[in-house]
Amino acid sequence: MTTVIREKPFSLAKSRRVIQWLAVIGTFVLGLRHIMPGEASRGGSFDSFCAFGGIETLLPYLSTGHLLKSTNLLNFSVLIATLGVSLVAGRAFCGWLCGLGALQDFIAEWTRKLLGERHHIRGKQSKAILPLRLPAAVDRPLRYAKYFVLVIILFASLYTAFPPLREFCPVRAVFSLKMTPLLWLALGIFLAGSILVERFWCKYLCPLGATLAIFNKISPVRLVTDTNHCNNCGRCDIECSMGIADVPINLDHPECVRCMECLNTCARDGSLTIQIRNKENVT
Ligand code: SF4
Ligand code: SF4
């Protein structure tokens, strides 16, 4: 039996926006704690709240019994919580809870506004020239870069004292408020990339996104298309910040961050629904 949760949740877009702002503010507050004296007595460094820090420090911990510097057991708790969300709802962490993901959505929106798109009409191609959608021949191979980054970091974590991504991490560059020349460079690349290509970091470089991608195939909460209602109008493709092609037939795609913007955009009731995966509705 198919369990349909909601058919046309217009409030999802607003709820997501509120949650994204809370994620940005929350991460910024962590950064503020980081620059105030006595951070260790307030639950650890900025780095210790990072889910990916848990991945970076896992192999060294298993092989030597020691955590990498600037990480602690809190990283594992944050990692387990992130994996728990992903087990239930795929890459929803990236689409709803990640401060960096939220910032990229905001930057894309602000860029379009600055370039003349005053009122965005859902499902209609933006007139603003940025952010771009890279041609598939460039975009597709670039998407594999994040898996390469993940493998390199896992390998490097066995030979470094600190988490390997730490010195280049855009989350630290944006939120930690303790800058180094390398973090300024990471910040510049992140900002320029996000202006040029929507969700640049998520699409091409994020090793946490690469880790969570597998969960879209197995998570029980998923989006499903009803081909009896969908007329392949393509409005959902236009609105997908991850640039997934043919959204109605690719809803379990590893790149989907479960933002639900396709669902919010679709004008044909019943075409897209959020469902609980069960034996009957697995396609
Ligand atoms: S799911 Fe909705 S928006 Fe997407 S192609 Fe079908 S009818 Fe159009
Ligand atoms: S397919 Fe839909 S839910 Fe997935 S990233 Fe694109 S717009 Fe968001």
Is pLDDT above 80 for 8?
Answer: no
Q: How far is CA 278 from CA 203, 220, 225, in A?
A: 29, 7, 15
Q: Pairing mode, if any, of strands 272-276 and 3-6?
A: antiparallel
Is pLDDT above 50 for 7?
Answer: no
Q: Single out the residue of 169, 237, 181 nearest to residue 206, CA to CA.
A: 169
Contact call for residues 132 and 54 (beta carbons, < 8 A): no
Whole-number Å distance, alpha carbon 37 to ligand 2 midpoint, is: 41
pLDDT band at 42 (very low <50, low <70, confident <90, very high): low
Is pLDDT above 70 for 39?
Answer: no
d(CA 258, CA 272): 13
* Residues 105-155 pLDDT 10s: 999 999 999 999 988 889 999 999 999 999 999 999 999 999 999 999 999
The token pair that represents 59 in the structure block: 């192999």
From the CB of 258, is ligand 2 less than 6 Å away? yes
Whole-number Å distance, alpha carbon 67 to ligand 1 midpoint, is: 48
* Residue 277 pLDDT: 84
State which ligand 1 atom lies nearest to the alpha carbon of 271: 1
Whole-number Å distance, alpha carbon 264 to ligand 2 midpoint, is: 10
pTM of the model: 0.93
Give the H or E element holding residue 237: helix 235-239
* Residue 281 pLDDT: 57
With vertex at residue 79, the alpha carbon angle to CA 74 and CA 85, rounded to the nearest 5 degrees, is 130
With vertex at residue 216, the alpha carbon angle to CA 100 and CA 11, rounded to the nearest 5 degrees, is 65
* Residue 65 pLDDT: 96
From the CB of 254, is ligand 1 less than 6 Å away? no
pLDDT band at 10 (very low <50, low <70, confident <90, very high): low
Domains of the chain by start residue, with CATH: 3-7+220-281 (3.30.70.20), 14-213 (no CATH)
* Residues 69-118 pLDDT 10s: 999 999 999 999 999 999 999 999 999 999 999 999 999 999 999 999 98
Whole-number Å distance, alpha carbon 242 to ligand 2 midpoint, is: 7
* Residues 43-67 pLDDT 10s: 678 999 999 999 999 999 999 999 9
What is the average per-residue pLDDT within 191-217? 98
Q: Single out the residue of 198, 271, 210 nearest to residue 240, CA to CA.
A: 198
pLDDT band at 5 (very low <50, low <70, confident <90, very high): very low
